[in-house]
Amino acid sequence: MSLGNLAFGGVQRSYSFPFAGIGRLGNVLVVTQMPSLPCEQVCFFADPENTDYVYIGTSGAMGVDHVITLEAGKWSPYFPVNNLDKFYYICADATSDIIYSLVR
């Protein structure tokens, strides 16, 4: 039994990651596009001191079916993407932050 190519999207890719960066995005109560930062992969982390959820999506018109919901102290998986600005976010309250970790 062959499982075939298990790489994301069926494409095998080699990553060198000569650069890695971490940043914090402050709390927002309206859907906001993330800054333009070239990357190859990104993951998100909800600050452990958050008091409510952070929502991440790929559209400025985020609906409940198309978001990642992160509670305090939780990580998302890494996503292969060419720029952080492909993502949007909103916080459920005025005290929650999102942290991103990207590599390129």
pLDDT at 22: 87
Q: Show the DSSP H helices in 1-89 as ranges.
A: none
Which pLDDT score, from 0 to 100, does residue 71 have? 95
Cα separation, 47 vs 95, in Å, equals 10
| Sequence ranges of the domains in the chain | 18-103
Q: Classify domain 18-103 at the CATH topology level.
A: Jelly Rolls (2.60.120)
Instruction: Label residue 103 exposed, middle or buried (CB < 10 Å: 0-12, 13-18, 19+).
Output: middle
pTM recorded for the entire structure: 0.78
Q: Which pLDDT score is estimated for 9?
A: 45
> CA-to-CA distance for 98 and 61, rounded, in angstroms?
19
Across the beta sheet with 88-91, what order do the strands follow? 32-33, 88-91, 54-57, 67-70
Per-residue pLDDT of the chain (104 residues; tens, 9 = 90+): 334 333 444 445 555 666 788 899 988 889 899 999 999 999 999 999 999 999 999 887 766 566 889 999 999 999 999 999 999 999 989 889 999 999 98
Rounded to whole angstroms, the Cα distance separating 104 from 100 reads 13
Q: What pLDDT does 4 receive?
A: 38
